């Protein structure tokens, strides 16, 4: 992909990607990171708003710790310091002419500036809208167009762009009706007079969260203070079961997840603060290059809670060097953000068993931005629990019949646990009727964490959220003993000759069987034509030798026909060209659109 580096950040922005970049409030030589023990009684998100939660957390010793991609501490930011700086930022923002309820778009670098501005918005009654960095976007132009779409969708009156992409600021804000557009340093240079801050209402909007798939038609999920706090409370108290302050050991979070995605923002930024935990934050853009820094930070800071999609665990398993790691305190190794791949987790567990990691630490969960974040958690200390079914019967009847006979085509799904307290999950048929266990249908959820809607998109809101408060998630799955099992996205399902084929089955089969392929190297979808649907697989190929390319195409064609009984058109594409969402998920819809638009014509011709 022209202009995109290995980590997904545009090379055109690379001059600003220096790990030593100083933040406006950052000490030149940070002291030790904030301690794990806060020194105050643990409270589990029982606050009316995020500002009230920060007011309480500020009485303790814990806080955020900002690290470079190499694991160097850049800034230790205790919650007490953050509160002072956030209140000053709130006054600064209001002094610009912003008024309560205005939206503030923040390109979300994982640093202290983001924390100061985000919480400054909370205290000012403004609505922050975290926006992605240029990770997994189609070059500079595509990224800027996406960003401008999000800014317009939010109706933002201010846009803050970090120095890492500061050279693009003019193009990002050109022609927009703003009271401010610039860097955190430029924002901090404005006056912060002693003006009164508004009373924050529980039913007021806290922030807008753009779902990871928001590209062509960006839609911001509207999260109120009440919904955000309800989810944080349920995650901390019931899902993660954060240790009380009376325990001899305290919990500590370590994260590389992006703060513009719900799992990073809610899971490892807002929720830890609401229960007074310290968090060690690594830059998302550096993770793919140095995944072991994440593990090293867990080891040396005695981290106990850290999450990743499956591919993050895979990256760690593939890299050498882990002899000195101590992962014995890592009690919750959460998996979320995408379909869970059990074999990757098994490999990780085996790879790091000598370092004290226990497979029982794995915790599967299910959630989405429309529910703030979490909907269900698997029980703790059990590891990944799975259900293996007869794949052919699943495809032909929609019934997940348990089967462990290796002579059958099998599919293993991960159990994602029960709904959080005060929340509910139902699997329904096409007529809206609840289905019994093991019957695949559409997943619906309800509870106090749900969004009030997509910001400014009432029609889209009405299409997924009914009058009784049930949200159509767009996911397919089935219930088993009160637990939810997700089988895929409804929009991705391929229907061929009466069979319901999940694209990830073909993708994972190829990536497991072909040694040269890695996770997210294959995108499978169907294309409607005059002769019916054709299944197509876009495959990232690193070989340039025609013989090797022909062999890969033939091997894949044979594999799909032999193991899945389908004919698949295989198209080889260059490395790092398959599109991903801002959270790192493969986006089949965009891959399909790129193919149909001719984006891969050169690759097809060279393969021919």
pLDDT digits (tens, 9 = 90+) for 199-233: 999 999 999 999 765 445 779 999 999 999 999 99
**pLDDT at 321 (0 to 100):** 58
Question: Is residue 526 scored above 50 in pLDDT?
Answer: yes
Q: What percent of the chain has pLDDT over 70?
A: 90
Structure confidence at residue 14 as a pLDDT band (50, 70, 90):
very low
**pLDDT at 8 (0 to 100):** 32
Tell me the domains of the chain and their CATH numbers.
11-251 (3.40.50.12780), 493-607 (3.30.300.30)
Number of H helices, E strands in the chain: 19, 27
**Beta-bridge partner residues of 253:** 279, 305
Higher pLDDT, 180 or 521: 180
CA distance 336 to 129: 22
Structure confidence at residue 603 as a pLDDT band (50, 70, 90):
low
Q: Compute CA 215 distance to the chain's CA centroid, rounded to the nearest angstrom.
A: 15
Instruction: Please compute the mean of the pLDDT values over residues 83-109 and round it to a whole number.
Output: 97
Question: Is the separation of the CB atoms in 288 and 5 below 8 Å?
Answer: no
Q: How many CB atoms lie under 10 A from the CB of residue 440?
A: 24
The conformation of residue 380, written as its DSSP 8-state character, comes to T
Question: Is residue 531 scored above 70 in pLDDT?
Answer: no
From 40-49, 162-171, 473-482, 499-508, the region with the lowest mean pLDDT: 499-508
Q: What percent of the chain has pLDDT over 90?
A: 69
pLDDT digits (tens, 9 = 90+) for 505-520: 888 888 888 888 888 8
């Amino acid at each position: 992909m022209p202009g995109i580096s290995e980590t997904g950040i545009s090379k055109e922005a690379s001059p600003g990607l220096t790990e030593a970049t100083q933040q406006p409030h950052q000490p030149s030589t940070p002291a030790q990171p904030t301690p794990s023990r806060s020194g105050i009684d643990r409270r589990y998100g029982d606050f009316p708003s995020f500002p009230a939660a920060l007011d309480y957390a500020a009485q303790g010793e814990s806080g955020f710790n900002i690290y470079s991609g190499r694991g160097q501490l850049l800034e230790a930011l205790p919650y007490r310091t953050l509160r002072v700086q956030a209140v000053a930022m709130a006054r600064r923002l209001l002094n610009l002419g912003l008024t309560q309820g205005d939206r503030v778009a923040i390109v979300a670098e994982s640093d202290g500036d983001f924390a100061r501005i985000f919480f400054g918005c909370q205290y000012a009654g403004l609505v922050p809208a975290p926006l992605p960095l240029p990770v997994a976007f189609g070059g500079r132009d595509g990224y800027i167009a996406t960003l401008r779409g999000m800014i317009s969708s939010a109706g933002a009156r201010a846009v803050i762009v970090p120095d890492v992409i500061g050279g693009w600021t003019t193009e990002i804000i050109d022609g927009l009706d703003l009271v401010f557009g610039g860097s955190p340093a430029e924002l901090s240079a404005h006056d912060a007079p002693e003006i009164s801050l508004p009373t924050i209402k529980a039913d007021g909007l806290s922030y807008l969260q753009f779902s990871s798939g928001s590209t062509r038609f960006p839609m911001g999920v509207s999260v109120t203070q009440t919904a955000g706090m309800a989810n944080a409370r349920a995650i901390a108290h019931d899902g993660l079961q954060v240790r009380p302050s009376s325990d001899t050991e305290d919990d500590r979070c370590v994260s590389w997840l992006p703060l513009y995605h719900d799992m990073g923002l809610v899971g490892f930024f807002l929720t830890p603060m609401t229960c007074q935990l310290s968090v060690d934050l690594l830059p998302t853009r550096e993770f793919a290059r140095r995944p072991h820094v994440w593990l090293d930070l867990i080891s040396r800071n005695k981290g106990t809670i850290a999450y990743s999609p499956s591919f993050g665990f895979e990256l760690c398993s593939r890299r050498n060097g882990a002899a000195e790691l101590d992962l014995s305190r890592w009690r919750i190794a959460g998996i979320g953000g995408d379909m869970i791949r059990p074999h990757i987790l098994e490999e990780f567990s085996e790879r790091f068993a000598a370092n004290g990691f226990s497979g029982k630490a794995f915790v599967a969960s299910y959630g989405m931005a429309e529910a703030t974040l979490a909907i269900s958690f698997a029980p703790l200390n059990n590891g990944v629990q799975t259900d293996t079914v007869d794949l052919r019967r699943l495809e032909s009847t929609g019934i997940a019949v348990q089967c462990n006979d290796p002579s059958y085509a099998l599919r293993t799904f991960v159990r994602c646990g029960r709904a959080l307290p005060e929340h509910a999950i139902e699997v329904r048929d096409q007529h809206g009727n609840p289905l019994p266990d093991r019957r695949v249908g559409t997943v619906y959820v309800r509870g106090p964490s749900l969004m009030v809607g997509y910001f400014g998109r009432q029609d889209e809101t009405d299409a997924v959220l009914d009058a009784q408060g049930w949200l159509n998630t767009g996911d397919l799955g089935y219930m088993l003993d009160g637990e939810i099992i997700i089988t895929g996205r409804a929009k991705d399902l391929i229907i061929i000759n009466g069979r319901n084929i999940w694209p990830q089955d073909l993708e994972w089969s190829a990536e497991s069987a072909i040694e040269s392929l890695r996770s997210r190297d294959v995108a499978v979808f169907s294309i409607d034509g005059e002769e019916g649907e054709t299944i197509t697989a876009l495959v990232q190929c690193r070989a340039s030798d025609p013989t090797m390319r022909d062999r890969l195409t033939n091997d894949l064609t044979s594999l799909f026909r032999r193991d899945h009984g389908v004919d698949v058109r295989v198209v080889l594409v260059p490395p790092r060209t398959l599109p991903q969402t801002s959270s790192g998920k493969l986006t089949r819809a965009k891959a399909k659109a790129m193919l149909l638009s001719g984006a891969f014509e050169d690759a097809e011709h060279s393969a021919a």
